[in-house]
Structure 1
Amino acid sequence: MFLSSVGFSIVIMSIWPYLQKIDQTADASFLGWVIASYSLGQMVASPMFGFWSNYRPRKEPLIVSIFISVAANCLYAYVHIPASHNKYYMLIARGLVGFGAGNAAVIRSYTAGATSLQERTNSMANISTCQALGFILGPEHRVDDSGRQCKNINFDEASTDEVQAPQGNIDQVAVVAINVLFFVVLFIFALFETIITPLTMDMYAWTQEQAVLYDGIILAALGVEAVVILLGVKLLSRKIGERAILLGGLIVVWVGFFILLPWGNQFPKIQWEDLHNNSIPNTTFGEIIIGLWKSSMEDHNERPTGCSIEQAWCLYTPVIHLAQFLTSVVLIGIGYPVCNLMSYTLYSKILGPKPQGVYMGWLTASGSGARILGPVFISQVYAHWGPRWAFCLVCGIVMLTITLLGVVYKRLIAFSVRYGRIQE
């Protein structure tokens, strides 16, 4: 999980400039598909690896997935070499990288089977912490694996109820609800990390180099923030429970996106340099000479900055102030890791002691589907209607998710609690 997040964090902020450099025909809409291809590969691979891990040693799918990831990253590094169709090579490379990342289902399945109910939240939090450390290039972390169907590695008399043969059915309503919640959580973060680079380039007239640098720093800061939040959640969950923390996390995310809504009378810098026509401006001969002299002194390789006039919303949508943007980043950075952790922690408890490889595969596939649709959704809405419509729709989606959580709140309990073997 650490290595996967390291690889992801290295690439994500530079995809857009890299794509523009290797293939001039690529536009913002294609960027959404490139980012989504990672999740498409993961969505396909997760159930396969999960099913594989239920019947074979877990090290087999882990080794195969790591080999695929290494090969795919090598392909990504050299997509600039072919003479044409470079953007499609990048699309394939990112899809294969995502396929290799499907091993997340195996890791979570192993963790669920190797821990007791009381240990589950802490163990899942440790996995999320390793992911967060990957975003800030933290110390190396090695993930243990098991050869066969595992029992509780901390087995004692207090946890015998959970490892007995399960009696009772899994609450499928709760399972579906958690999959939907997890989908939305990954959806909103995927669209956020997709739009952050184009948004900052449009709003603050950052160059490509500045956007990659500053947004990379922001991503690393989010990783640090996530580590701190996850350590706090491990303690807080013992007092108020996972469901309440999940609800609180969704509310914080909603506030974060609400703050991102544009307001005020200040507008972003317009990228007028993109306009080219055959009209002759009404200028004097002296102004023409001065203009030619200035243009000869400029670096013609530097791309114009600002909000492109090709995006009509740039003319009437207020700028998102930097303080406004950074406040939103902090809030989303608090809410996302909390919701992510609580979703699959509750999921593993709802499933109980049964082998969870396939179920975890479907959960990971649900998240991967969100990471497919999120970039495509935000790139299309943002390009055509701008940040106001985009973030209004996101706020609406999060509000509906909070409503869903309220409806199924009482059903999101552990398998053992549901059948009265353990008191919550």
Structure 2
Amino acid sequence: MPCERTNWRVVYLMGVFSLIQNTQYSIYLTSMFSYLKKLDSTATESQFGWIMATSSLGHCIGCFVLGWWNSRTNRSAPPMHCGFLLMLASNLVYLLVDSVPPTWVAHIMMLSRLLGGFGMGNSSPMRTCASLHSTASDRSKAMASISGGRSVGTVVGPGLQLMFLPLGEVGFVILPGILSIHSNNAPAFLGIVLTMVGFVSLIVLFEEEIAEESDKKAITDLESNYTTIKDEYPSSDIVAMLICMLTRFVQNFMQISVETLAPAILMMMYFQTRQEAVASMATTYLTTGLIATVLYLLIIFTKLSTVVRDKIFNSLVLILFVCHLLATYSWQFYSDYVLDVEFSNETLIGCDEEHFTWCSNLTIAPEWTFYVGYILSFGLFMPFINVANATLYSKLLNPDCQGTQQSLYDISNTTARIFAPVFITLIYSAYGPRRAWEFLCILLLFTTFLWIIFDKRLVPLKPIQKQMFDNDGFEQEKSSKTKLVS
């Protein structure tokens, strides 16, 4: 039954749930690599890439399974309960990393991230629930609440690592010989708290509106007795849809690639210790998240969204991402080299010339460009391309049946999280940061080129009015028809 009035309590609650799940899921990002190296000195960047990819694979599977469950039962609460329980299990498994042999560490982290990915499948029932509890005119703001919660949680989560740095790498003992809390596993404890808050709030605060059988029968009777002048839509432009999905994939591929390599780059290029690298990135993430939060709030509650031009902003932000990469590239004219400081096996500061053959002539870009470029790209520019691309993509589709196409759009984001850590760490390990940056530039420029070439096809889908007939076969006047809103 069409929603006659937006239930903002449910919509905002879904936005809060989105914020909670993405915060607890991403809070590990700044400390996981250094924690892995601390517990297993033989661990490689490629192993870390596989750990990150496993979580995204779980996310893809979780989206499909929990979304299918939601569709089959027409209820959002049960799959969301399951999602929160899977997140809880993920955080509990992460606490075991301290007590397993070094050779098991990467596998336990991978299991934890896989379970967390399954739980992240909650995004499908959350989006469905927000859609069902909002009117068509309020749908964009409802979706912005979900997207804003997801994006802000993704960048704020890693910044919360600053809270745990005073604990140090030793921390204090909770259960002697079994469990202790320190700066590396404290994110799991906070994740448990956040997940429990979400789970309890879902039970206490969430009231799902379910159509009764009498309502369904009334709708059926109404549709059988009245006919409409129907807005018939042509088939969606597949090329235009693919370009929007590719843009979603590439923008997230770049962000995840930079986030994955950031700890290693700070330790190698800027000679920071594990703790210093964690603190630097946590501060950067927190600043980025605050800027993104303000922008999303302005887009949701002000008229800022009216100045966002879909096609222009997509192309413009992609070019700005390229500028970010060029500004942080290790140009040959820089005078400082990574081998200016001798590599230390204890602190892992500097470039390991025995392990990486590309260390010999690698220069260092100014450190400030790394932080400023990250904050501008993912705090200031990313929210605009998120809104512009998602808005245009929704306009390319038939408004009455977007479920499957929207799930594909969501999966295009998740697949970037699968492939980015693996490919970028393989390129980095074999050829160094220069080739990694060049690869990202090529992806961004290729996508921008597609926006220019297919500009005329990237336009909203327009309906074709079709005259319908009553059950008695006689054509009715348009003014006498009742138009049913689906």
Which TM-score band (shorter chain)? Answer: 0.7 to 0.9
Between the aligned partners of 1:55 and 1:243, the Cα distance in structure 2 is 36
Structure 2 counterpart of 1:345: 391
Shift of 1:413: 4.0
Find the partner of 1:328 among 366, 373, 376. Answer: 373
Q: 2:325 aligns with which of 233, 257, 271?
A: 257
Name the SS for the 2:338 alignment partner. Answer: coil
Structure 2: distance between partners of 1:128 and 1:414: 21
Asked whether 1:3 is paired with 2:20, we answer yes
CA contact (8 A) 2:231 2:465 kept: no
- In structure 1, which of residues 118, 128, 143 is the aligned counterpart of residue 147 of structure 2? 128
Q: Distance in 2 between matches of 1:350 and 1:198?
A: 41
Deviations along 1:80-104, one digit per CA (max 9) or x if unpaired, are 3223422111112111111111222
1:40 to 39, 50, 57: 57
Cα distance between partner residues in 2 of 1:222 and 1:311: 31
Aligned to 2:277: 211
Q: Structure 2 CA distance, aligned partners of 1:345 and 1:145? A: 29
Q: 1:76 to 1:48 in 2, by over 3 A?
A: same
Question: What letter matches 1:50 in structure 2?
Answer: G
Instruction: Judge conservation of contact 2:232–2:463 (CA < 8 Å) in 1.
Output: no
Partner residue of 1:279? none
Give the aligned partner of residue 104 of structure 1. Answer: 123
Residue 318 in 1 paired to residue 371 in 2?
A: no
Shift in alpha-carbon separation, 1:128–1:26, aligned structure 2, 3 A? same
Rounded to whole Å, the distance in 2 between the matches of 1:344 and 1:361 is: 12
- DSSP 3-state at the match of 1:24: coil
Tell me which amino acid in the other structure corresponds to 2:36: L
Any idea what the Cα deviations from partners look like across 1:65-118, whole Å, max 9, x if unmatched? 111111112111222322342211111211111111122233334444554565
Query: Is the alpha carbon distance of 1:203 and 1:337 closer, same or farther for their aligned partners in structure 2, counting shifts above 3 Å?
Result: same
Q: Does 1:268 align with 2:338?
A: yes
**Contact 1:166/1:354 (<8 A) preserved:** no
1:178 has 2:196 as partner: no
Name the amino acid aligned to 2:121: G
Label 1:306 to 1:419 Cα distance change in 2 as closer, same or farther (>3 A): farther
**How far did residue 245 of structure 1 move?**
2.3
- 2:349 corresponds, among 305, 328, 336, to 305
Distance 1:342 1:107 in 2: 21
Preserved contact between residue 47 and residue 365 of structure 1 (Cα < 8 Å): no
Please give the TM-score of this superposition, normalised by the length of structure 2. Answer: 0.71
Amino acid in the other structure paired with 1:265: S
Q: Deviations over 1:274-303 (max 9, x none)?
A: 58xxxxxxxxxxxxxxxxxxxxxxxxxx52
Aligned AA for 1:5? N
**Is 1:63 matched with 2:107?**
no
Q: 1:58–1:147: 8 Å Cα contact kept in structure 2?
A: no
User: What amino acid is the match of 2:156?
Assistant: I
The amino acid of 1:251's aligned partner reads I
* 2:254 match: 188
Match runs of 1:153-172 below 5 Å: 167-172=233-238
Partner amino acid, structure 2, of 1:107: M
Picking from 259, 263, 277, the partner of 1:197 is 263
Structure 2 CA distance for aligned equivalents of residues 32 and 202 of structure 1 = 17
CA separation of 1:167/1:232 partners in 2, compared to 1, >3 Å: closer, same or farther?
Answer: same
Moved more, 326-335 or 207-216: 326-335
Tell me, yes or no, if structure 1 residue 381 matches structure 2 residue 427.
yes
The whole-number CA distance in structure 2 between the counterparts of 1:187 and 1:342 is 18
Distance 1:219 1:316, change over 3 A: same
Contact 1:352 1:414 in 2 (8 A): no
Change (3 A) 1:129 1:64: same
CA–CA separation in structure 1 for the residues paired with 2:211 and 2:312: 32
The amino acid that maps onto 1:326 is Y
Superposed CA offset, 1:177-209 (max 9, x none)? 222221112111111110111111111100001
Q: Report the Cα distance in structure 1 between the residues aligned to 2:96 and 2:231, rounded to whole angstroms.
A: 51
How far has the Cα of 1:377 moved from its partner?
Answer: 1.5
Q: Which sits farther off after the overlay, 129-138 or 78-87?
A: 129-138
Give distance in 2, aligned partners of 1:80 and 1:50: 34
Quick one: distance in 2 between partners of 1:114 and 1:107? 11
Cα pair 2:233 2:398 within 8 Å, conserved:
no
Tell me how large the CA RMSD over aligned residues is.
3.0
1:225 matches 2:243: no
**Counterpart residue type for residue 227 of structure 1:** T
CA 184–82 in structure 1, closer or farther in 2 if over 3 Å, else same: same
C-alpha separation between the residues in 1 aligned to 2:65 and 2:404? 8
Q: 2:69 aligns with which of 52, 56, 74?
A: 52
Amino acid at match of 2:127: R
CA-CA distance at 1:271 after TM superposition: 5.8
- Partner Cα distance (1:352, 1:117) in 2: 13
Q: Secondary structure at the match of 1:14?
A: helix
Query: C-alpha distance in 1, partners of 2:433/2:284?
Result: 19
Q: TM-score, normalised by structure 1?
A: 0.80
Q: State the Cα distance separating 1:29 from its structure 2 match.
A: 1.0
Distance 1:374 1:149, change over 3 A: farther
Partner of 1:30: 47
Residue 304 (structure 1) shift:
4.1
Give the distance between the partners of 2:418 and 2:44, measured in 1 at CA: 17
**Is contact 1:112-1:356 (8 Å) kept?**
no
Superposed displacement of residue 231, structure 1: 3.8
- Greater RCO (Cα-Cα under 8 Å, separation 6 or more): 1
**Does 2:444 align with 1:398?**
yes
**How far apart are the structure 2 equivalents of 1:69 and 1:36?**
17
Q: Distance in 1 between matches of 2:28 and 2:88?
A: 14
- Equivalent position to 1:78, from 84, 88, 96: 96
User: Is the Cα contact below 8 Å between 2:96 and 2:108 reproduced in 1?
Assistant: no
Counterpart contact for 1:110–1:145, Cα < 8 Å: no
Kindly tell me the number of residue pairs found equivalent between the two proteins.
Answer: 382
Tell me, yes or no, if the aligned pair for 2:328 and 2:373 is still in contact at 8 Å: yes
Mapped to 2, the partners of 1:131 and 1:420 lie a distance apart of: 37
| Shift in alpha-carbon separation, 1:318–1:249, aligned structure 2, 3 A | same
